[in-house]
Amino acid sequence: MRVYEEILDYIRQIPVIDTHEHLVHAEDLLEGRDDVLQEFLLHYMSSDLISAGLKAETLETARDKKRDILGCWELIEPHWEFCGHTGYGRVLDDSVRAIYWIDGIRGSTIEELGEKFREANKPGHLKEILKDLCNIELAIIDPWTGRFKCDRSLFRRVWRPQNYIMPMPPEFDIVGWLEETYAVKIRSLSDWLEVFERELDENLANGIIGLKSVIAYQRPIRFEEVSFKDAAIVFQKALKDRTEKCEYGDKSLVLPKVVQD
């Protein structure tokens, strides 16, 4: 046991680079985010609760910060008990013990937790948790877009260039948005790559440290060798198809696999 504690104590002193976060990336964005259940039910744990039988409409009611926190807790409590030993459930319990000195999340602690959560929501809170408590020197934010500021004493960003490969969501008018944003006309694959370079340069100047692809959620990540000529022909047809769909209000751009690759 003594050796275990020595190793654990040493590990706790090792500075950490946290390579994947979706955290609030600037403290002014914490304003109004002071409801503990709304935050804890935002993602991940909510998936476990749904798997445990919680109805989606009940989940939405429990996320309503205008409602009494104990009443919201009672809506999810029977299902929470089934999720307490999942990875998501355990890490929330561990977090409230380490941050708020409260022994786990349950009916007898939820009101005190809600109060302490609100009290902690103030300037300096992110630093207290990330640097002082967790010894995280830097956290890399994956925010879906690079077009925002972040606290560079705590964070760096990556950028997802997915809209140039497989525009998401499918109904998003990526062509119209890019043409308006960069005052260009996209008529060819060369134009497409040129505006990509411009947005990449913009994001690099804005402090991103890498690119990230999440395209594996939508397709295999086996990319075939494709000539520029072949891709350009297929891209031209995709633009033509979009133009024809625009007459019916559909401005989406669907890029076939040849262009994606």
Residues 178 and 241 in one domain: yes
Does any domain span residue 86? yes
Percent of the chain whose predicted confidence (pLDDT) is above 70: 98
For residue 207, the model assigns a pLDDT of 85
For residue 150, the model assigns a pLDDT of 81
Domains of the chain: total: 2
Does any domain span residue 96? yes
Where would I find the beta strands (DSSP E) of the chain?
16-21, 136-141, 155-159, 208-211
Residues 168 and 256 in one domain: yes
Residue 160 CB contacts under 8 Å (≥ 6 apart), including other chains: 142, 144, 145, 211, 212, 213, 214
Does 238 or 33 have the greater pLDDT score? 238
Boundary-marking domain end, from 120, 147, 168:
120
For residue 144, the model assigns a pLDDT of 63
101: left (phi over 0), alpha (psi -120 to 50) or beta: left
For residue 194, the model assigns a pLDDT of 97
Cα–Cα distance measured from residue 235 to residue 228, given in angstroms and rounded to the nearest whole number: 10
Residues 170 and 245 in one domain: yes
Does any domain span residue 155? no
pLDDT tens per residue, range 44-92: 899 999 999 999 999 999 998 888 999 999 999 999 989 989 999 999 9
Percent of the chain whose predicted confidence (pLDDT) is above 90: 69
Cα–Cα distance measured from residue 165 to residue 74, given in angstroms and rounded to the nearest whole number: 45
155, 140 Cβ separation under 8 angstroms: yes
Burial of 95 (0-12, 13-18, 19+ CB in 10 A): middle
Does any domain span residue 40? yes
Does any domain span residue 129? no
Q: Where is average pLDDT lowest: 80-94, 138-152, 193-207?
A: 138-152
Boundary-marking domain end, from 90, 120, 150:
120
Does any domain span residue 76? yes
Residues 112 and 194 in one domain: no
pLDDT at 27 over 80: no
End-to-end CA distance of the chain: 53
Residues 164 and 251 in one domain: yes
Does any domain span residue 238? yes
Does any domain span residue 15? no
What is the Cα gyration radius of the chain? 23
pLDDT at 122 over 90: no
Residues 173 and 256 in one domain: yes
Residues 253 and 170 in one domain: yes
Does 246 or 26 have the greater pLDDT score? 246
Per-residue confidence band for 146, with pLDDT thresholds at 50, 70 and 90: low
Residues 179 and 106 in one domain: no
Q: Taking all residues of the chain, what is their mean pLDDT, rounded to a whole number?
A: 91
Range of the domain at 97: 34-120
Per-residue confidence band for 216, with pLDDT thresholds at 50, 70 and 90: very high
For residue 145, the model assigns a pLDDT of 58
Per-residue confidence band for 197, with pLDDT thresholds at 50, 70 and 90: very high
Boundary-marking domain end, from 71, 102, 120:
120
Residues 181 and 110 in one domain: no
pLDDT tens per residue, range 156-190: 989 999 999 998 887 889 999 999 999 999 999 99
Residues 115 and 167 in one domain: no
What own/partner pairs with CB < 8 Å and gap ≥ 24 does 202-205 have? 202/146, 203/146, 203/147, 203/159
Per-residue confidence band for 228, with pLDDT thresholds at 50, 70 and 90: very high
Reduced to 3 states (helix: H, G, I; strand: E, B; else coil), residue 121 is: coil
Chain centroid offset of residue 224 CA? 29
User: Which H or E run contains 97?
Assistant: helix 87-100
Residues 75 and 164 in one domain: no
Residues 171 and 228 in one domain: yes
